[in-house]
Amino acid sequence: MYRLKLIFILPCLFLFSNIQAQNYIGKKKDINKILKNIEQFSAFYVAGDIESLVDSYTLDGKIFPSRTKIIEGKEKLLEFWTPRNGNKTIRHKVTPSELKIVKKTAYDYGYYEGTSQNAKGEKFEFSGKYVIVWKKIKGEWKIYLDIWNRID
């Protein structure tokens, strides 16, 4: 019985490690740093810590929200990400489909989703897809380009 289980589990483990290898390409240390930054971005957003969220970007980091030109510069990023009119994001989750590191540049793409809540307490689900270009600045991975759009 124990042996039978191993016969099933081992190929699954092998398959999983291959899928990982395809989707996260680069040194494990760098991959883990970026994955942690992706998680922290969401945590900062939900906590309302917009200063830390904007610090996730390079000083010349650029965001590409719908219906505006490209936005650049710490002040403008703070303004964009700061919630208005009593709205807040109570859930935010980013799921990278692929992450690849090439020297001191990296890209990842995938899906994001979350829940926002307005001043009346009404909740709204949102979801979309994104591409991020990262740069390693003084040993830290920062977001250089951040573009996204809706799924539905």
Which tokens is 135 given?
Answer: 């740069």
Residues engaged in binding its own copies (CB under 8 A): 62, 64-70, 97, 100, 102-105, 107, 109, 111, 129-131, 133, 145, 147-152
Work out how close the CB of 8 gets to its own copies at its nearest, in angstroms, rounded to a whole number. Answer: 30
Dihedral sign (CA 20, 138, 148, 117): positive
Q: Which is nearer to its own copies, 46 or 131 (CB)?
A: 131
Q: Which is nearer to its own copies, 53 or 106 (CB)?
A: 106
The closest alpha carbon to 114, from 131, 93, 96, belongs to 93
Place of tokens 């926002």: 116
Work out how close the CB of 101 gets to its own copies at its nearest, in angstroms, rounded to a whole number. Answer: 10
Q: Which is nearer to its own copies, 107 or 117 (CB)?
A: 107
What CA–CA distance (Å, rounded) separates 51 from 30?
A: 23
> CA triplet 147, 131, 92: central angle to 5 degrees?
80
Work out how close the CB of 67 gets to its own copies at its nearest, in angstroms, rounded to a whole number. Answer: 6
